[in-house]
Amino acid sequence: MSINLRREHGHALPCDNMAVMDSPNPPEAGTSPADTVVALDARAKRSLLWLIASSFFMQMLDSTIVNTAAPSIAAALAVSPLSIKTALISYTLSLAVFIPLSSWLADRFGTRRVFWAAIAIFTASSLACGLAQNLTMLVASRIVQGFGGAMMMPVGRLAILRSFSKAEFVSAMAFATIPGLIGPAIGPFLGGVFSTWLSWRMIFLVNLPFGLVGLWMTRRHMPDYRASSTTPLDLTGFALFGLGVGGLSWGLEQVVEGQYVRTLLIGAPAIALLVVYAWRSLRIAHPIVDLHLLRIASFRIGINGSFTTRLGVGGIYFLLTLLFQVGFGYSPVMAGLLQTPQAIAMLSTRFFVASIIRHLGYRRVLVVNTALAGLMILSFATFDANTPIWRLCTQVFLFGMVMSIQYTAVNTLGFVDLVPAQASMGSSMSSTAQNLSISFGVAFGSLLMAAFLPVGAGSGESYIGAFHATVIILGIVTILSSAVFYRLPRAAAA
């Protein structure tokens, strides 16, 4: 596989939908061993890529397979379908909270030990999810699963960064992340198959064989990189940040449940903790999340644009699942098949997104494409029980194409002006912001859905009507978020 990282107007253009980082320069005096590219033979590099690719696949499969099974899980645990959003949010929120720890842990304890522990935690918590007897047990297990996943992807990317030269890095990342895109393509369908013909518990237990093979491969093929010295861990900052974002998400949960006083009691202290974290992080040398990077315009706009866009689109896949199963009465398998076109579109579109950005520039692509994403969401308000299958699939496929362009552009925008020394922190902050925005997007969409559902509603017509009202608001929010990208500097807009 040959993929080039081209430069236009002094900026790196993306060739993948994950954050692209320059690999380190050749070692200089005073450079720690962890900062150098270590020479591995071709066989060792190939084995490393397969290991990381399989872990990406397992993680991405798990993040999408739950959506289709949500109604089945709700029925088995005797809760409302909307309540399953907690199991979705808790996973992405856990990722967001713990990702900032991954780089420090890898430098301190070594990539092999941390990656092995990440797979072990992810696998064990998958077993716990599959054995959960109530929603509380499921959510707790998903939080632990998110902790394992938070170390898996960043440490895997770090291992590639330190094993491959600059010329090889983009091709290596492209190979490692393709299975991660196949996961979302088959996840909804597998979720439907398992929940229909086997059990919803299988959507978590399917991770066990992948995890056991991953543990064995890690011992054999993961290089053990670590820094000769590490900066002190900002435990105070981690506590402030984690409690702040966790409390904010929990506060949003209470709004969905109609507990407005509880929302204020939880949300206000959470916001205060985040304000204290922001004040403190700008005054210490090694914060867990370095807000100084937000002074770089392209990075700041990339983070802000990603967050505002995902606030509108983050809950769409969950809401479509409810529409297809609860609103239209489709089986979980059919609902999974109807979600598959968007994943196929994202997988196929990614191969020419770099050319689009290179010819049109970040600013033009993101302003226009974000508005298109909003219009596609608005088009979902035309769905009803009589809508032909071919039209459902076509609109979902087109939405997947638009979102592939969106994610690739916004995920790489923030890195065009970062120097290699800032890449690790930038990647951590970008991943954290993405997972936070996804969890908030699901919470926001669920909040709107719950607001439009009549009290005690259980009929399909009620869900269809609430879905229509919800996507109209989400579409407008997404269109308005395109204004964020008007502030892009001319250098990034060209």
Q: How do residues 103-145 score in pLDDT, each as one tens digit?
A: 778 778 888 888 899 999 999 999 999 898 888 898 899 999 9
* pTM across the whole model: 0.69
CA distance 237 to 431: 18
Same domain, 266 and 408: no
Same domain, 320 and 272: no
Domain of residue 198: give its range: 41-229
Same domain, 317 and 451: yes
Q: What is the pLDDT of residue 135?
A: 87
Helix, strand, coil distribution of the chain in percent, nearest 5: 80, 0, 20
47 is a domain residue: yes
Q: What is the pLDDT of residue 493?
A: 46
Q: What is the pLDDT of residue 128?
A: 93
Which of 80-84, 155-159, 392-396 is least confident? 80-84
261 is a domain residue: yes
25 is a domain residue: no
Q: How many domains does the chain have?
A: 3
Report the CATH number at residue 380.
1.20.1250.20
Same domain, 191 and 158: yes
Same domain, 201 and 53: yes
CA distance 341 to 421: 39
Same domain, 378 and 425: yes
- Write down which residue in 229, 248, 263 finishes a domain: 229
Q: What is the pLDDT of residue 86?
A: 76
Please list, in sequence order, all residues whose beta carbon lies within 8 angstroms of the beta carbon of residue 300, skipping any fewer than 6 positions away.
293, 294, 414
CA distance 115 to 231: 20
Same domain, 199 and 269: no
488, pLDDT greater than 60: yes
Q: What is the pLDDT of residue 479?
A: 92
218 is a domain residue: yes
14, pLDDT greater than 80: no
Output the six-digit token pair for 72.
């089945």
Same domain, 193 and 263: no
Same domain, 137 and 62: yes
Q: What is the pLDDT of residue 448?
A: 84
Look at residue 299 and give its three-state secondary structure: helix
15 is a domain residue: no
pLDDT tens-digit profile of 258-316?
677 877 888 889 889 989 998 988 888 788 888 888 888 778 888 888 888 888 887 78
36 is a domain residue: no
Q: What is the pLDDT of residue 357?
A: 78
How would residue 24 be classed by pLDDT, with cut points 50, 70 and 90? very low
364 is a domain residue: yes
Same domain, 218 and 268: no
- Write down which residue in 287, 322, 353 finishes a domain: 287
Please state, rounded to an integer, the average pLDDT across all residues of the chain.
77
Same domain, 172 and 308: no
19 is a domain residue: no
12, pLDDT greater than 60: no
Q: Which is more confidently placed, 173 or 124?
A: 124
DSSP string, 407-446: HHHHHHHTTTT--HHHHHHHHHHHHHHHHHHHHHHHHHHH
How would residue 17 be classed by pLDDT, with cut points 50, 70 and 90? very low
- Write down which residue in 229, 245, 269 finishes a domain: 229
Same domain, 348 and 311: yes
CB 352 within 8 A of CB 401: no
pLDDT tens-digit profile of 430-449?
777 777 777 778 778 878 88
CA distance 309 to 160: 29
190, pLDDT greater than 80: no
